Amino acid sequence: MKELDRFMEITKATYNDTMKQWKEGGGRIVGYFCTNVPEELVMAAGMLPYRLRAPESRDTSEADRYTTYLNCTYCRHVVDDALLGNYDFLDGFVGSNGCDQMRRVSDIFRAVQFKEPAEKDEFFLEYVGAPRVPMDEASLAYYKDEIIRMKEQLETFFEVEITEEKLKEAIREVNESRRLLHELYALRKAEQPPITGAEALSVTVAYTCMPKDLFNQEMKSLLEALGDRKAAPDHKKRLFLYGSELDDPDWIKVIEDQGALVVADGSCFGGRMFWDYVDESGDPMEALAKRYHERWSCPRMCDRVRRQDKIKEMVRDWNADGIVGERIVFCQLWGSEKVMTNLEAQDTGTPTLWLEREYLLGGTGQIKTRVQAFLESME
């Protein structure tokens, strides 16, 4: 499908054609790592939010001067791309404490400044600290103060004004993107879904690296084009995908080529990223703080019971036969989540398989063997 091919093309490039057109039109781009950073603030400042990935990276030789083998390969590949100048299209970067490794990468970026010393004063650098405890009055106030500072720094550095109306308009536009993605995911509840898990991931990744108005326009075309399509009529089992950073649709394709079909996910470039909406009534900064603090969390947050309840809800509503978890090697947070999810699976009887992986796709033979054995055990 040309509509799906378009998203796949965008996903494979670090600097895709929609971003180039944005820059050529005089637009600015601000990068970020973790979804603790409200993209609506960047949009309200008239800029394009870009979630950092390294889809064209092949080694980490440059990053190894600043990192160790104990750093996850996602962080190392992103640092490598930064040192090589592959993010020179960025006008700024907002770091966050998504995990300790991302926090340290933010420190590296502050040190290397992305740019040559003569240009460093032209590059925006900010940091947003997010609480790790469930929302209460104190944690919400803390996080709101963090994003207010981010707003003020954007205004000062770029000499723009983020008005309440601009912020509300950005919230409406991003909520529309979320609504369209929810509509896509709802189609995957069907007995014969019109889109595979790999194809769906290409759509959600494209969401992070193109202007939202263009994304919404192309999403509407995709939803209309899917029609009665049957993406994998011969699939054997339906799976729920859960895990850490994953922006490579080919990794899911390896699993689906064994006869499975990923019908839903809780990954940080997938469902967990867009699932919750921002309240469009009332104070927009208060609404942003509540949405980003209360949203479907990852293991950095101390609310495991709520996450496990969400997994059970997704498995039930999307009629999944089992769970496949994925964890990048040396990710401590998802190492603990793997243990707790396996224990929960023992209690519920849900078949669960966890796969260790690196950022770049590799070891496909082992993945195929383990997935095949997993599917056979479910028969």
Domains in the chain, please, with CATH? 2-14+28-163 (3.40.50.11890), 165-378 (3.40.50.11900)
Which regions of 116-271 does DSSP assign to beta strands (E)?
A: 124-128, 237-243, 260-266
Q: What is the pLDDT of residues 17-36, one digit of tens each?
A: 999 999 999 999 999 999 99
Q: What is the pLDDT of residues 209-243, one digit of tens each?
A: 999 999 999 999 999 999 999 999 999 999 999 99
Region 6-18: mean pLDDT is 96
Which residue, among 138, 159, 135, has the nearest Cα to 47 in the 3D structure? 159
Which residue, among 260, 348, 261, has the nearest Cα to 308 in the 3D structure? 348
Amino acid letter, 152: E
| Res. 121 pLDDT band, cuts 50 70 90 | low
Q: Is 80 exceeded by the pLDDT of residue 15?
A: yes
CA angle 62, 68, 74 (to 5 degrees): 70
Question: For residues 298 and 139, is the Cβ–Cβ distance under 8 A?
Answer: no
pTM greater than 0.75 (yes/no): yes
Distances from the Cα of 44 to the Cα of 150, 154, 165, 234, 360, angstroms: 12, 10, 9, 45, 34
What is the phi/psi pair of residue 245, to 5°? -55, 125
| Res. 119 pLDDT band, cuts 50 70 90 | low
Q: What is the pLDDT of residues 141-195, one digit of tens each?
A: 999 999 999 999 999 999 999 999 999 999 999 999 999 999 999 999 999 999 9
Q: Is 60 exceeded by the pLDDT of residue 14?
A: yes
Which residue, among 296, 261, 273, has the nearest Cα to 203 in the 3D structure? 273
The strand pair at 237-243 and 322-328 is best described as parallel
Distances from the Cα of 259 to the Cα of 127, 251, 368, angstroms: 43, 14, 10
What dihedral do alpha carbons 163, 166, 168, 169 form, nearest 10°?
Answer: 170
So what's the pLDDT on residue 135? 82
